[in-house]
Amino acid sequence: YYFPCQRWLAVEEDDGQIVRELVPVDEAFVKKDSENDGQSPATLGLEQKAKSTTYTVKVKTGDKKNAGTDANVFITLYGSKDDTGIVSLKASKINKNKFERGKVDEFTVESVDIGDLKKIKIGHDNKGNSTGWFLEWVEIDAPSLGQCLKFPCGRWLDKSEDDGAIERIIFPAKLQTREYIPFVPYEITVYTSDVFGAGTDADVFIVLYGTDGICTQQKSLCLNKREQRMYFERNSVNQFIVELEDVGDMIEKIRIGHNGGGLNSGWHLDRVAIRRLLPNGK
């Protein structure tokens, strides 16, 4: 069995996860990779992305006195087929100081197929100066499944409040479930030109257009400002695997640009290559 990863396990890198589930790849990919005949790490990533589910987890801390917590928070997602195991919510995409009173924090959880999401277990380790936590709700969005579920809580996770529990099992509110057309993974390879001053530190975004006026949302390719400084350097090749709306088998055009931010925002773009897996696996 061959389990390529080629990703960070670090709070301050990538999606902030320090534990990853890896799926095995076909033997053909191993041979291609070892023979250096053009099989790239990102290509492996695309095959793996198609076998996994990325969840965006939003957590709302209540607007009550002492509602925030300094403890380490964890979550487990339970599906009809399997569960994710315990996932530490360490790197909030929104707030540096997470789980503060009245704030919403956002995290990424990646897992192999666990089936339809049935319930979650969320809690903390009761460590730190201020551990008691009032959890308002959890929202879990799975673009590849086309489903967004809301898990209302409205209770304390505190040994000295409510029933004293510091972890709770929560079920989704059916009336608050939102369904939409599932997203698909795209491999986007960006080539920056080899001319003086070609690189950019700005926030680069892309939109894909299919036939009949179908298009994706505008998507930033970098997850944070640190990545913006690292990527899109002169004469560089950067590959991203992003989940976007399915624009069909034909991509008629793309719209790519940046926000003009950063010290050196001007960018000389050479070309963009886009690859996706069609429903028959090609």
Domain limits, the chain = 2-38+183-276, 53-179
90 closest CA partner among 100, 105, 104: 105
In words, the CATH class of domain 53-179 is mainly beta
Q: How is residue 182 annotated by DSSP?
A: P
2-38+183-276 CATH, one of 2.60.60.20, 3.20.20.220, 3.90.180.10, 2.40.50.100: 2.60.60.20
Single out the residue of 241, 251, 133 nearest to residue 184, CA to CA: 241
Q: Which residues pair with 105 in a beta bridge?
A: 59
pLDDT (0 to 100) of residue 68: 92
d(C-alpha 207, C-alpha 221), whole Å:
10
Same fold yes or no, 2-38+183-276 and 53-179: yes
Q: Residue 44 pLDDT > 70, yes or no? A: no
User: Are residues 203 and 259 in contact, defined by beta-carbon separation less than 8 angstroms?
Assistant: yes
Res. 35: pLDDT tops 50? no
Residue 30: per-residue pLDDT: 58
Instruction: Write the pLDDT tens digit of every residue in 105-123.
Output: 999 888 888 889 999 999 9
Lowest mean pLDDT among 30-44, 58-72, 168-182, 223-237: 30-44
